């Protein structure tokens, strides 16, 4: 017997995940939209963190929801629904990453160096267009640093630090041991700090470049001032 077509949900609801699942299984399939709107961002972030590709991450999110809907009757409530759902998306994304042969070994040079500490907290924001620009630039810098993390490290970092999953939930979602999660998170943070230090160093040095037209202008001004001095 075919499943009835999904229809938009007219009014938001405070139903728990488990209550929504039960109602959907009873035939009120329109309520599935509640779950989608509740977890679309998480699934996208998780998938994007693993694949580093917007379009493919969106495909994973779509496939994860389709699979979750098909297998909803298998959800037994032994884990939180959000964890069960995240696991589906994670496995799909990891399978795609494996097919693309993009997985980088954990012993990659990207994970070496550093003192093992966490990246420094960003400065507190203050209002104003200059601060807004600085925040956008910082966000772009952080995103680029996350992008170059090896896939296994990036997956753990996104789940733990962006989605704020616990170590246990992350391990469950990615099929890892608790120790694996802790080690990969530590290496991800160390790698991020190293990358940010290098990038910020390059940007600072770029601020103090003194060549081209600027250099020519100063040379001309100095010689002009010297020529103007009495002999």
In the prediction, which pLDDT does 125 show?
Answer: 42
Rounded mean pLDDT, 61-84: 90
- Tally the domains of the chain: 2
Q: Rounded CA gap, 78 and 84, in Å?
A: 9
Domain C-terminal end among 77, 103, 129:
103
Per-residue pLDDT of 192-206, as tens digits, reads: 888 877 776 665 445
Q: Are residues 49 and 116 in the same domain?
A: no
Whether the per-residue pLDDT at 13 is higher than 70: the answer is no
From 62-71, 208-217, 219-228, the region with the lowest mean pLDDT:
208-217
Q: Are residues 124 and 146 in the same domain?
A: yes
SS3 for 151?
Answer: helix
CATH code, domain carrying 114? 1.10.10.10
Q: Rounded CA gap, 214 and 166, in Å?
A: 53
* Model pTM above 0.75: no
Sign of CA dihedral 14, 19, 21, 26: negative
- Tell me if 117 is assigned to some domain: yes
Q: Annotate 12-36 with DSSP letters as a single string.
A: -----HHHHHHHHHTT-GGGHHHHH
Per-residue pLDDT of 91-123, as tens digits, reads: 999 889 888 754 444 443 333 333 444 433 433
CATH code, domain carrying 18? 1.10.1740.10
Per-residue pLDDT of 36-70, as tens digits, reads: 999 998 888 888 888 888 889 899 999 999 999 99
Q: Are residues 85 and 176 in the same domain?
A: no
Cβ(38)–Cβ(61) below 8 Å: no
Tokens standing for 161? Answer: 């630090």
The band of 3, judged by pLDDT with boundaries at 50, 70 and 90, is low
Full domain range(s) for residue 177: 108-198
């Amino acid at each position: 017997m075919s499943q009835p077509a999904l229809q938009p949900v007219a009014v938001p609801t405070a139903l728990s995940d488990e209550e929504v699942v039960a109602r959907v299984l009873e035939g009120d399939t329109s309520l599935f939209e509640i779950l989608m709107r509740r977890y679309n961002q998480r699934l996208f972030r998780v998938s994007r963190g693993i694949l580093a590709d917007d379009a493919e991450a969106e495909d994973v999110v779509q496939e994860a929801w389709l699979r979750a809907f098909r297998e909803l009757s298998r959800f037994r409530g032994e884990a939180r629904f959000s964890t069960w759902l995240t696991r589906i998306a994670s496995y799909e994304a990891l399978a795609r990453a494996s097919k693309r042969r993009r997985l980088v070994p954990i012993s990659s040079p990207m994970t070496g160096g550093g003192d093992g500490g966490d990246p420094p907290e960003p400065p507190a924001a203050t209002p104003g267009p200059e601060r807004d620009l600085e925040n956008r630039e910082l966000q772009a810098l952080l995103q680029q640093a996350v992008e170059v993390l090896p896939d296994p490290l990036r997956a753990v970092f996104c789940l733990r630090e962006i989605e704020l999953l616990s170590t246990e939930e992350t391990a469950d979602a990615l099929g890892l041991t608790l120790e694996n999660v802790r080690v990969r998170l530590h290496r991800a943070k160390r790698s991020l700090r190293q990358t940010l230090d290098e990038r910020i160093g390059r940007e600072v040095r770029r601020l103090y470049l003194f060549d081209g037209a600027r250099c020519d202008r100063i040379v001309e001004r100095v010689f002009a001032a010297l020529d103007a001095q009495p002999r």
